[in-house]
Structure 1
């Protein structure tokens, strides 16, 4: 049993104290297909500026968390090449017009198979370099807990508090956070370390629902201030 390392910081709807010895940060979908100008989303005409807003925040925050031995978990969408575990509904979401430009397609600017594990498409964006002790988990749904080893990994780390970062805040981040809360984890969304390509009202609703129903929000500045203190 690791000795407790309490960290107290400002949060909403109330100030929090967490145990750093039992805390991890889950960084969701900060990968090329969602956040790189040559990635799939940009290639189909989506403005990815919102998906890139967490990059400088995480560049600053993650080294400080690693220095405190807080595990960093990269949860990226990375499908099997044969897509054998994907139901029709998931394939439809990423190819809604049925033209074949979704999961597995190589027609985008990079030529990398869309959202395929071990491909450039599923790699963390260059600005965010994974550390040697960081953990990578592939996911295949909006929630990173479905059909993945994420829960087992976190339990083995003896983690019960999760910080959430990444994209899209209102989609994969929220779905994973909700499942985490339902599984009994304490959840904290770092509000400036998440982004979305959706309209602003989607972000507003996400922040509201996290605070109202599932857990807490904080900022990277409040975390860094507490870590420095």
Structure 2
């Protein structure tokens, strides 16, 4: 082995996933700090150990169109009160996760202005008769285009305004893994475990969590940080299926308590 002649330079987009290189050497060994661990429990019973260094929080669709009374759902007559329920638990959780340097990913609808990323089948879900206000159409009161990237309608609610160091990913389907860069980002962060929060629990949250499971991630649904405007049986079925097939269900207050300790 020749003697190292020049210092190695870190190469990578994330401190969690770096090579170190020079003209004479390539070091593929990633730095591996001791894993800070916390323990939580599913339903107060089964103990689950988490490596905080390899965990990220995915917050899904906490956007004005879903959670603000003047947004899209409010316009079509949906009571958005349930969709606002995760706001306060997330306001308590986010500072603790940021202090632990856990990545926070805001996974939101953010459609193109020309809607070329939206198929007729997808548009039909939200505009089945071709009439009314669907994806990309202007809201009657504000004129904001429904769930269009860069609009007030697609922005995260003010109470949860993302920090500059947080990660934003636009999605165009109920699953945040379909046709997005989410998986690549998580791999570059060296993440294996995902915490899920947001709305609607039985739709975009569940679809993304299922796809995460199919991609090989460990999945934990934060029950108190999720909600839905669907009937209660939809939430019950979601919790059942996550526990049964796709991961675990925990409460965010356990994490806050563990991280504070």
TM-score under structure 2 normalisation? 0.86
What is the aligned counterpart of 1:199 among 213, 224, 231? 231
The secondary structure found in structure 1 opposite 2:159 is coil
Count residues in correspondence: 229
Give the equivalent residue in structure 2 for 1:64.
96
- Between the aligned partners of 1:222 and 1:96, the Cα distance in structure 2 is 42
8 A contact 1:61–1:224 mirrored in 2: yes
**Higher RCO, 1 or 2 (CA under 8 Å, sep at least 6)?**
1
2:14 paired with 1:8: no
Please list, as runs of the form range in 1=range in 2, the aligned pairs for 1:20-31 lying within 5 A after superposition: 20-31=52-63
Mean CA deviation greater in 217-226 or 73-82 = 217-226
Deviation readout 1:119-163 (Å, 9 max, x if unpaired):
111100000021121000000000000000000000000000000
Give the equivalent residue in structure 1 for 2:76.
44
8 A contact 1:40–1:109 mirrored in 2: no
The secondary structure found in structure 2 opposite 1:224 is helix
The secondary structure found in structure 2 opposite 1:10 is strand
Deviation readout 1:41-67 (Å, 9 max, x if unpaired):
000000111100000111111011000
The secondary structure found in structure 1 opposite 2:74 is helix
User: Which is helix-richer, 1 or 2?
Assistant: 1
Distance change (3 Å), C-alpha of 1:45 and 1:24: same
- Between the aligned partners of 2:232 and 2:98, the Cα distance in structure 1 is 31
- Between the aligned partners of 1:203 and 1:96, the Cα distance in structure 2 is 24
The secondary structure found in structure 1 opposite 2:108 is strand
Deviation readout 1:6-35 (Å, 9 max, x if unpaired):
111122472110100000000000000000
2:102 paired with 1:102: no
8 A contact 2:92–2:256 mirrored in 1: no
Report the CA distance between 1:109 and its aligned residue. 2.8
Give the equivalent residue in structure 2 for 1:144.
176
Give the equivalent residue in structure 2 for 1:123.
155
- Between the aligned partners of 1:134 and 1:14, the Cα distance in structure 2 is 31
Give the equivalent residue in structure 2 for 1:213.
245
Q: Tell me how large the CA RMSD over aligned residues is.
A: 1.1
The secondary structure found in structure 2 opposite 1:127 is helix
Mean CA deviation greater in 78-87 or 165-174 = 78-87
Report the CA distance between 1:100 and its aligned residue. 4.3
What is the aligned counterpart of 1:35 among 58, 61, 67? 67
Larger radius of gyration: 2
Runs of 5+ in structure 2 lacking a partner?
1-30
Deviation readout 1:178-223 (Å, 9 max, x if unpaired):
0000000000000000010000110000000000000001101111
Distance change (3 Å), C-alpha of 1:162 and 1:88: same
Please list, as runs of the form range in 1=range in 2, the aligned pairs for 1:158-173 lying within 5 A after superposition: 158-173=190-205
- Between the aligned partners of 2:37 and 2:183, the Cα distance in structure 1 is 23
8 A contact 1:23–1:159 mirrored in 2: yes
TM-score under structure 1 normalisation? 0.97
